[in-house]
Amino acid sequence: MLRDRTAVITGSTSGIGLGFAEAFATAGYRLVINGIATPEEALLLTHRLEEQHQTQVFYHPANLADPEQCTALIHDAQQHFGSVDILINNAGIQYVAPVEQFPADRWDAILAINLSAAFHTIRAVLPGMQRHNQGRILNIASVHGLVASIHKVAYVAAKHGIIGLTKVVALENAARGITCNAICPGFVLTTLVQKQIDDRATEANVSVDEASIELLREKQPSGRFTPVEDIAALALFLCSAAASNITGASLPIDGGWIAQ
Ligand code: NAD
């Protein structure tokens, strides 16, 4: 049904992004996937998604820390499949340290990948979407786009920034059939969060399970991680016709985190 529609998903070789890839392929979209992977890993993943979902998948190796490669990702996707209907800016990294000890190069990398990359891909994708008067842009922010936590200065700054970016893109394109929204997950159990749990377990000299329960207890009242599939279902809804008048929104999916 949708095999002539293309979704570009950044950072889709693992975690939440891979969940988006699976869900949009299942829904019949052609995919442009991206993320850090060896050529062999990328080929394996591409073939698996193609065979499992009977769709076309194109892997692009863009390093999103580089603005030119962000633009190339979009232009190559348009060239490969004709147009881009959906852009999901999902790639992200994390680093945890107090502000005065936060390495400047980690600040630069987090701002580049978690915020500036989305500006560059959106800037490149909009003219095509505007020509067709249709498009969906999703920015994967975080609860840290809405509230702060200690030791995450660059991440919190970048995620607050991407919510601002989302609103401006939504306003400028509100009457053009293009929506732009941010999804704000709380804790989702991916490698990005597993590393924080492992570090906490080591620091507190407790088991990984105990560290994980403690992490949730501090922030996420539901006491459980949000499954990747639930985030993907929200993304699919935001790309559906029923969501055509939802734009500029920042939607938490966080087990009650920001209600506190
Ligand atoms: P993950 O580490 O599992 O996946 C990150 C993806 O980004 C990977 O595919 C990786 O290859 C890619 N990536 C990293 N640096 C890149 C670069 N320079 N160029 C291209 N790709 C790059 O992490 P995740 O938890 O799936 O996170 C995905 C998004 O969701 C991030 O933006 C993250 O901030 C956000 N998020 C995650 C959580 C959570 O609890 N896991 C919560 C809120 C928001």
Helix boundaries (H) for the chain? 15-26, 39-53, 67-81, 104-111, 117-132, 153-172, 191-204, 208-219, 228-238
Q: Is 29 a catalytic residue?
A: no
Q: Which of 29, 59, 95, 155 is catalytic?
A: 155
d(CA 47, CA 149) in angstroms, rounded, equals 40
Domain ranges of the chain: 2-186+227-259, 188-225
142 touches ligand 1 (CB under 6 Å): yes
pLDDT tens figures, 45-102: 999 999 999 999 999 999 999 999 999 999 999 999 999 999 999 999 999 999 999 9
**What separation in Å is there between the alpha carbon of 138 and the centre of ligand 1?**
14
In this prediction, residue 90 carries a pLDDT of 98
Contacts of 203 (CB under 8 A, 6+ apart): none
Look at residue 78 and give its three-state secondary structure: helix
Counting ligand 1 atoms within 8 A of each CB, the residue from 8, 18, 89, 90 with the most, and so the one to mutate, is 90
> Shortest CA distance to 125 belongs to which of 79, 58, 62, 158?
79
Counting ligand 1 atoms within 8 A of each CB, the residue from 8, 22, 34, 36 with the most, and so the one to mutate, is 36
**What separation in Å is there between the alpha carbon of 175 and the centre of ligand 1?**
31
DSSP conformation class of 9: E
Q: How confident is the model at residue 238 (pLDDT cuts 50, 70, 90)?
A: very high
Q: How confident is the model at residue 4 (pLDDT cuts 50, 70, 90)?
A: confident
Give residue for tokens 């996420």: 220
pLDDT tens figures, 97-150: 999 999 999 999 999 999 999 999 999 999 999 999 999 999 999 999 999 999
90 touches ligand 1 (CB under 6 Å): yes
**What separation in Å is there between the alpha carbon of 130 and the centre of ligand 1?**
28
42 touches ligand 1 (CB under 6 Å): no
**Statement: 2-186+227-259 belongs to CATH 3.40.50.1220:** no
Residue pair 114/158 in contact (Cβ under 8 Å)? The answer is yes
**Cα-only R_g, the chain:** 18
Q: Please give the mean pLDDT across all residues of the chain.
A: 97
What pTM, to 2 d.p., does this model score? 0.97
pLDDT tens figures, 208-235: 999 999 999 999 999 999 999 999 999 9
**What separation in Å is there between the alpha carbon of 191 and the centre of ligand 1?**
8
Q: Whose CA is nearest to atom 6 of ligand 1?
A: 11
Burial of 101 (0-12, 13-18, 19+ CB in 10 A): exposed
In this prediction, residue 2 carries a pLDDT of 55
> Shortest CA distance to 45 belongs to which of 28, 62, 65, 60?
60
Question: 207-216, long-range: CB within 8 Å, 24+ apart, which pairs?
Answer: 215/187, 216/187, 216/255
196 pLDDT more than 70: yes
112 touches ligand 1 (CB under 6 Å): no
**What separation in Å is there between the alpha carbon of 113 and the centre of ligand 1?**
9
191 touches ligand 1 (CB under 6 Å): yes
In this prediction, residue 3 carries a pLDDT of 61
1 pLDDT more than 50: no
11 touches ligand 1 (CB under 6 Å): yes
